[in-house]
Amino acid sequence: MAKVRVRLPLGVTHPHPQRDLECEGATVEDVVKAAIAAEPRLEPRIYKDGKLYVGIFVNDRNMRSLGGFTMPVADGDVIRIVPPIAGG
């Protein structure tokens, strides 16, 4: 199990400020589940209609270009949750 920092931005945590969580897991999916377990109110902002609603970056690289939701994580990795921001 790896110890990973999850960065939760203002776009997900509002009206509270952005914050970081320390979570454990073997994969990106495990870590996101752990983050939701720690902050259940985030679930509707991370999942919509059962689908992942946010972008996920692992060490500043989009997880979709690395190995996807089931990719393994390592100690010290930083996962960033990026809400979809459809602005002009």
Partner 1 sequence: MEDLLRIDLTTRTVTCNTIAPDLISDYIGGKGIGTHYLLSEVGPDVAPLSPANKLIFVNGPITGTTMFGGNRYGLHFLSPLTGGYGECTSGGQVAPQFARTGFRVVIIEGAADAPVYLEISENGAQIHPADGLWGLDTYEAEAAIVARHRERWPHAQACVIGPAGERLVRFACIENNKWHSLGRGGSGAVMGSKKLKGIVFHGDRKVEAARPDKFKALVKDLAARAKDDPAVAAYRRGGTVNMVRLINGVNAFPTRYWRKGHLDDFEPLTTETMIEKHLEHNGVCPPCLLQCIKHNVIREGPHAGLEIDGPEYETLYVFGGLCEIVDFGQVMHLNDICDRLGADTMTAGNLCALAIEASRRGLIDLQLDFGDADGVAAFLESMCLRDSALGDLFAEGVLTVERELGLEGVAVHVKGMEPAGYDPRALKGMGLGFVATARGACHLRATFYKAELAGFSDPQVVEGKAATYVDWEDRLCIMDTLIFCRFYRDLVPWPFITAVVNAALGTDYSSDDLHAVANRIITESHRFNEARGFTAATKERLPSWLTQRATDDDLHQTLDQGQMDLMLHEYYGLRGWGEPVLEATVGSGRP
Contact between 86 and 14 under an 8 Å Cβ cutoff? The reply is: no
Indicate whether 50 belongs to the interface with partner 1 (CB under 8 A). no
Length of the chain: 88
Helix, strand, coil percentages, rounded to 5, for the chain: 30, 35, 35
Applying CB under 8 A, the span of 13-21, 22-30, 31-39 interacting with partner 1 comes to: 13-21
Least distance to partner 1 from the beta carbon of 27, Å? Answer: 18
Indicate whether 82 belongs to the interface with partner 1 (CB under 8 A). yes
Residue in 43, 55, 71, 77 binding partner 1, rule: CB under 8 A = 55
